[in-house]
Amino acid sequence: MNTKNKGFDTKLIHAGDFHDEFGSAVTPIYQTSTFSFKSAEHGANLFAGKEQGFIYTRIGNPTINALENKLAELENGFGGIALASGMAAVSTVYAAILKTGDHMISTGAVYGPSRAVMESIFADFGVQSTYTNTAVLENIEKAIRPNTKMLYLETPANPTIELTDIKAACEIAHKHNIIVVVDNTFSSPYLQKPLNLGADIVLHSLTKFINGHADIVGGALIVKDEQLYKKVRKTMTYMGGNMDPHQAYLVIRGVKTLSIRIDRAQENAMKVAEFLENHPKIEWIKYPGLKSFPQHELAKQQMTGFGSMISFGVKGGYKAGIVLMNNVKLALLAVSLGGVESLIQHPASMTHAGVSKEARLEAGITDELVRYAVGIETVEDIIEDLEQALAKI
Ligand SMILES: *Cc1c(COP(=O)(O)O)cnc(C)c1O
């Protein structure tokens, strides 16, 4: 079915999907590593690109391509590239665009490993980087060097929930021929479409909202134009960070309910945020949907919803955070986000326990910070769970 001019929800269900000769209702799993040629000439034509078809799963596979085509339509890109993980997408996009002597500018509060792979591996290959608060546009302007090739944005960034104005940042970057990559994991194309705002490449950890069921790890890159797409696709094919057909099948299944899952999750998040904002044991709260959120207007402008990630500070700091963790019963103590289940995390005592206090504070991870990924359970149960756990502090 051609879904190019159809609505977003129709694209979620039907874009990219194909039906086999038996009339399968869903895209089948082609769990095969390789594809046989009909003849020597057929093989030669496929390799030469004179005929469309499949050769080998690292290069392309019908199930994986179905997902790639769906994601490309959802983000309004020329083409999609599915990868083994979000980090495979990050390292592939760095490798595709940056070479020795090049410089990149990135949101300072990006997903930790996105910064770590740059500073600990790409730096060894001679790639330079500047990490800055891209919410302040002058910081981007100031960081630009003659050799700057990439602007890498994450918005909203985690755990500070800071937003970068994508459109304005792209205008600055494009004046200097800088390619803009946006990690859209926290919003998904349902809430934010960076390519429409001027970005060149969108990146996803499919592990989060897009798959949505906490049962696979996956990543994707969606590229706006054909030439750049071919370059990034070639890098993926050579470096081998490709997705597996079974993984693609699960993501295709998960993404079909993206909009109804996010609708419910953000409706719940708004109620949880309002509950926390008025709770005496809460010191501060950051949720883009709250009027008190400093960038509430920007959120309304570039996003069509506020998502379901909340950061808040508990009074009593580090110890109070631990008490809260040890008393919640419904929310799972886990990293990640975007699944149907609510997850809670206290970075100071959990994910960042091994990081020096200085480095932790520099990343905006204060002792009292708690991150809550609101799920789609009955909202009264989520609130009741928090209420009884907060009462133990
Ligand atoms: C999880 C995450 C990643 C990395 O994705 P994986 O699938 O875990 O490799 C990248 N960016 C953001 C914003 C994430 O939340």
Within its chain, how far is the Cα of 152 from the centroid?
Answer: 13
The pLDDT, as a whole number, for residue 350 is 92
pLDDT of residue 386: 98
pLDDT higher than 80, residue 7: yes
pLDDT at 68 > cutoff 90: yes
| Ligand 1 binding pocket, CB closer than 6 Å | 85-87, 111, 114, 154, 183, 185-186, 205, 207-208, 217, 219
Q: Whose CA is nearest to atom 8 of ligand 1?
A: 86
Top pLDDT among 18 and 30 is at 30
Among protein residues, the one whose CA lies closest to atom 5 of ligand 1: 86
Mean pLDDT of the region 128-133: 96
Q: Which residues contact 314 (CB under 8 A, 6 or more apart)?
A: 281, 282, 283, 320, 321, 324, 368, 370, 390, 393
**Span 320-331, pLDDT tens digits:** 999 999 999 999
- CATH fold label, 8-30+61-255: Aspartate Aminotransferase; domain 2 (3.40.640)
**Residue 116 backbone dihedrals phi, psi, to 5 degrees:** -60, -40
Of 185, 187, 336, the one to substitute when testing ligand 1's pocket (max ligand atoms within 8 A of C-beta) is 185
CATH 3.40.640.10 maps onto the chain at 8-30+61-255
Residue 346 in tokens: 């206290």
Kindly report, residue by residue over 85-124, the tens digit of the pLDDT.
999 999 999 999 999 999 999 999 899 999 999 999 999 9
Alpha-helical regions (H) of 159-206: 166-175, 188-191
Looking from the CA of residue 219, the nearest atom of ligand 1 is 7
Q: Give CA–CA dist 113/110, Å, rounded.
A: 8
| pLDDT given at position 356 | 86
CATH class, 258-390 region = alpha beta
With contact defined as beta carbons under 8 Å apart, do 209 and 258 qualify?
yes
**Range(s) for CATH 3.90.1150.10 in the chain?**
258-390
Whole-structure pTM value = 0.97
131 given a catalytic annotation: no
Cα Rg of the chain (Å, integer)? 22
Q: How confident is the model at residue 173 (pLDDT cuts 50, 70, 90)?
A: very high
* Gap from CA of 356 to ligand 1 centroid (Å): 22
pLDDT at 360 over 90: no
